[in-house]
Structure 1
Amino acid sequence: MELAFLKTLYQRPGPYASVYADLTRTTEDAAKAVELRWRALRADLEDQNAPEDTLRALDRVIDEEIAERRSEGIVVFAADGEVLYRERLPRPPQNPRATFGPLPDVLPYLAERGEKIPHLTAVVDRRGGAIDCVTAKDEHWHIDVEGDEEYPIRKTKAGDWNQSRFQRAAENTWKINAKKVAHEIDRAADRCGAEAIVIAGDTRVRNAVLEEISENVLEHTVEADKNTDIDDPDLDAELRRLLRLKTYERVMTVAERFDRELANGDRAVAGLPETSTALRHGQVETLLLPDDLDSDARLWIGPEPVQVAATAEELREEFGVTDPEQERADAALVRAAVATDSELVVLPSDDGASTPVGAVLRFSTVPAQ
């Protein structure tokens, strides 16, 4: 997961208020229930001594979301009386909470956000098709493809005059239109860098399209065995299933590389002290964090993003930090990863196994033999 989108968040010195609000409306008094849930989170921030101007900034955002009724949940980070980052969530946060501390509490958001895999969906029929594509930066495009050939589209009924000629003409029309749709799918997939592609629609036309798309696109494509439209919930469910699979594959690829490099002993590190040291030195290519939102692990931080260490003495000796602070380890590590252009992989921790904090390194400090 690339973290560059968080760079502006850390341009303020903090402290930060972090809010994960549940905005679901499932009862007759839904608006009142949402307001009460926010009031409870606001009270938590007050108990943590969040300043009033920051609370008012959060009030404005939450009130706006309640009025617009456009989301099931929202994450908001604010500091110094200003909202610095906000994003609507497609579902309620797994763990609604509000915290106030030296750094924003970003790991729950990153775990729910997940990998942003560029993807494409297409629904095809005998007249053309509809294509939706989404980039890794969450940019959306919609393309309607009108076939060049419109007549004849349907085969004639058995026994009609000149039946075989019209049937061949209909099939040729489908193939001509399918070729145009396939060309547009190739172009759109290249434009958005699609790594997951779902094609649905008329079975015979779908097969014709699959025969025409490029090999590079075909290797990322699955069929949805449905004659549907681009907004059908079943098609969306198939896409989400594919994206989950792609995310799992990507995470497992990084985890396997981490295990391999750690065994070799020079291009990976494990443990909080070792990982924080590697981040301070700009070595980390990919940071691996367990999805452990209840972890009580702490690190010491200074005012600069790369100032993170297992002990306060390290920051005093290496950077001359006079007043180090303790902070959640995951928050401190993510800030340093953002500053050093490292990627992040959040490892699932729901299997009961202990998942260590670690990193795959860009380079090793082990001297060449």
Structure 2
Amino acid sequence: MIVARIVSLYVHYTGRHTLEAAGRVHVEAEAGRWPLTRVTPGERLDERVPVADWPRGAERLGRLLAAQALRIGAETLVLAGDTWARGILARRLPGRLRGRVTTVDAGGVPRPGRALLEGWLEQLFRGRMAAHDQALVGALLAQRARRGAATEGLADTVAALQRGQVGTLFLNDRGRSAPPVLWVGPEPAHLALTEGELRSYGVRAVRRERADAALARALVGTGAELVLVPERWLRLRDGAGALLRYADSPASSP
């Protein structure tokens, strides 16, 4: 499954399709990373514009959306909602963003507390990988081949996260298989394979947590990226690996 930088946009409007109509066009937008936005919603925008002012309002919103897209390095703008109102907005987006628009016919309204257009994003990105993430996978393979700034396997990856050494975390998308469990503490870098190891670092409040959730929390806390890789593309030992910010110094010869 992809981890994509996106701007999701839903245009609410149910009135007459004319600029002389009463009422307002309501626009919701969310800039963030998919699928992380399923559990950690990204930057939100919520605007209501009178229908008569919609062309001018759409141009202003287009500039705001372009700024959001630039800020997160968005690869795609996913646009849904009323066909007439969203069409006006799409035509007034800045040129650099217009070529990245994907339109979906999403029914219903977005659900509070969930990623905007969550179900449609799941379908849209299933089985795809962004060019940025493909490049990161290539970098991981290159570092792994020369035993450089990379790890593979749960134990080595957890150790690197404890040190804040991970630049990009790679996890295999294993579908419905049961994930392993880690021990965690109150801080993002408080994680270990065993309770005893974590307590040996002086962490008192410890608990068990699914490994995927613990790793995701650690990477957010340390500013690392996440790439979910289907096993058919790259099988990682224990389903985990990392591209490091720096390589460990080689051990001194005796």
TM-score range with shorter-chain normalisation? 0.5 to 0.7
Aligned position for 2:242: 359
Provide, for residues 21-78 of structure 1, a one-character-per-residue CA deviation record: whole Å limited to 9, x for no partner: xxxxxxxxxxxxxxxxxxxxxxxxxxxxxxxxxxxxxxxxxxxxxxxxxxxxxxxxxx
**Of the two structures, which has the highest relative contact order with CA contacts closer than 8 Å and spacing of 6 or more?**
2
Structural RMSD (CA)? 5.0
Conserved in 2, the CA contact under 8 Å of 1:133 and 1:188? no
Evaluate the alpha carbon distance shift between residue 358 and residue 142 of structure 1 in structure 2; reply closer, same or farther with a 3 A threshold. same
Conserved in 1, the CA contact under 8 Å of 2:173 and 2:230? yes
Q: How does 1:107-126 map to 2 (within 5 A)?
A: 117-122=6-11, 126=18
Aligned position for 2:93: 213
Aligned position for 1:196: 77
Separation in 2, partners of 1:325, 1:238: 32
Conserved in 1, the CA contact under 8 Å of 2:19 and 2:52? yes
**Structure whose CA Rg is larger:** 1
Evaluate the alpha carbon distance shift between residue 254 and residue 122 of structure 1 in structure 2; reply closer, same or farther with a 3 A threshold. farther
Matched residues, number:
217
In the alignment, structure 1 segments of 5+ residues that lack a partner are 1-110, 149-176
Instruction: Quote how far apart the aligned CAs of 1:262 are.
Output: 2.8
Aligned position for 2:145: 263
Separation in 1, partners of 2:205, 2:47: 52
Evaluate the alpha carbon distance shift between residue 186 and residue 301 of structure 1 in structure 2; reply closer, same or farther with a 3 A threshold. closer
Instruction: Quote how far apart the aligned CAs of 1:305 are.
Output: 4.9
Of Structure 1 and Structure 2, the greater helix share is in 1
Instruction: Quote how far apart the aligned CAs of 1:271 are.
Output: 1.0
Q: How does 1:73-222 map to 2 (within 5 A)?
A: 117-122=6-11, 126-127=18-19, 130=25, 131-136=27-32, 137-138=41-42, 139-147=44-52, 178=55, 180=56, 182-190=58-66, 192-193=68-69, 195-198=76-79, 201-202=83-84, 206=87, 212-222=92-102
Aligned position for 1:25: none
Secondary structure at the residue paired with 1:118?
strand
Provide, for residues 176-212 of structure 1, a one-character-per-residue CA deviation record: whole Å limited to 9, x for no partner: x75x254134134146547414276359x94x76554
Separation in 1, partners of 2:134, 2:190: 30
Separation in 2, partners of 1:192, 1:323: 38
Evaluate the alpha carbon distance shift between residue 142 and residue 274 of structure 1 in structure 2; reply closer, same or farther with a 3 A threshold. same
Conserved in 2, the CA contact under 8 Å of 1:198 and 1:239? no
Give percent identity, aligned residues only: 25
Secondary structure at the residue paired with 2:164?
coil
In the alignment, structure 2 segments of 5+ residues that lack a partner are 33-40, 111-116
